[in-house]
Amino acid sequence: MEIKKIGVIGAGQMGNGIAHVLAVAGYDVVLNDISQDQLDASFALIESNLERQVARDKLSSDARDAALSRVQTTLDIAQVGQSDLVIEAATEKEDVKVKIFANLLPHLQPHTILTSNTSSISITRLASGTDRPEKFMGFHFMNPVPIMQLVELIRGIATDEETYRACLAVVEKLGKTAASAEDFPGFIVNRILMPMINEAVYTLYEGVGSVASIDSSLKLGANHPMGPLELADFIGLDTCLAIMNVLHDGLADTKYRPCPLLTKYVEAGWLGRKTERGFYDYRGETPVPTR
């Protein structure tokens, strides 16, 4: 099946990045959200990021204009149902995702493929609540989407080969690389990455090192481009905690127990860059460690 039109549900950080790369690759995109303000902000950000690519000679002006013309925003989820492929990119809460798919089902075409950008939630479980588990899979982009080259493709227990091949073709058209993952909590990237971040928070919690020393150690000692606490702030501490809880609940191993300090930061509403405070305070000219 040739995919031409793609619906993206959720116009947040991930959704706008996904819509951006799809439009540049030549797909018609329907971007949906429950907030008109969020849709307007997302479209403006796509426009700004495309302009930055033009300024850096990574995109022509004509290609920018063509990409923008392919992005349609809507509050009406029924319009998303007319797509060949749907990528759900809402918040990392299973009940929210289940409700979205339930609302979408009556409007789908028979051939529409459903996917979720979830970073850890069971694809098999999400698929089982739809009328097409064989046409459902995980389509996990990395953040920031326009820059990161990897996409995890996760088959649920019922996902058929045709669905996998269609999604793989989209990844290849985007110029990205697909990694096939089995449907276990956290898949590949977050199964490895989140326990590392959680361990960094434990290292801070136990007083082994400060925020600055922990991040410097991993940047200079392991050649990581970002320290683990800086990366946690970038991802969002609420997202990190949600993924650790999925790992802990799904694998029933105490090594995945979320650090109490991570929980405390989330309870405080210090979620990282998006709230201007996390392991760093971003309200000044330069980020300052909060511990």
Backbone angles phi, psi at 31, to 5 degrees: -100, 120
Query: Is 122:159 a contact under the CB 8 Å cutoff?
Result: no
Q: Is 26 marked within a binding site?
A: no
Is 140 catalytic? The answer is: yes
Q: Is 209 marked within a binding site?
A: no
Q: Is 4 marked within a binding site?
A: no
Q: Which of 49, 116, 152, 230 is catalytic?
A: 152
d(CA 61, CA 6): 23
Q: Which of 16, 49, 116, 190 is catalytic?
A: 190
Q: Is 92 marked within a binding site?
A: yes
Q: Is 58 marked within a binding site?
A: no
CA distances from 215 to 125, 154, 233 (A): 36, 31, 12
Query: Is 136:123 a contact under the CB 8 Å cutoff?
Result: yes
d(CA 108, CA 98): 15
Q: Kindly tell me the sign of the dihedral angle through the C-alpha atoms of 95, 124, 235, 16.
A: negative
Q: Is 143 marked within a binding site?
A: yes
Q: Is 210 marked within a binding site?
A: no
CA angle centred on 23, ends 18 and 27, rounded to 5°: 105
Cis, peptide link before residue 144, omega less than 30° from 0: yes
Q: Which of 88, 140, 198, 230 is catalytic?
A: 140
Q: Is 93 marked within a binding site?
A: no
Q: Is 16 marked within a binding site?
A: no
Is 190 catalytic? The answer is: yes
Q: Kindly tell me the sign of the dihedral angle through the C-alpha atoms of 188, 198, 94, 269.
A: negative
Q: Kindly tell me the sign of the dihedral angle through the C-alpha atoms of 177, 183, 188, 193.
A: positive
Q: Is 238 marked within a binding site?
A: no
Q: Which of 119, 120, 122, 198 is catalytic?
A: 119
Q: Kindly tell me the sign of the dihedral angle through the C-alpha atoms of 252, 258, 264, 270.
A: negative
Is 119 catalytic? The answer is: yes
Q: Which residues are catalytic?
A: 119, 140, 152, 190
Binding site membership for NAD(+): which residues? 10-15, 33, 92, 97, 119, 143, 274
Binding site membership: which residues? 10-15, 33, 92, 97, 119, 143, 274
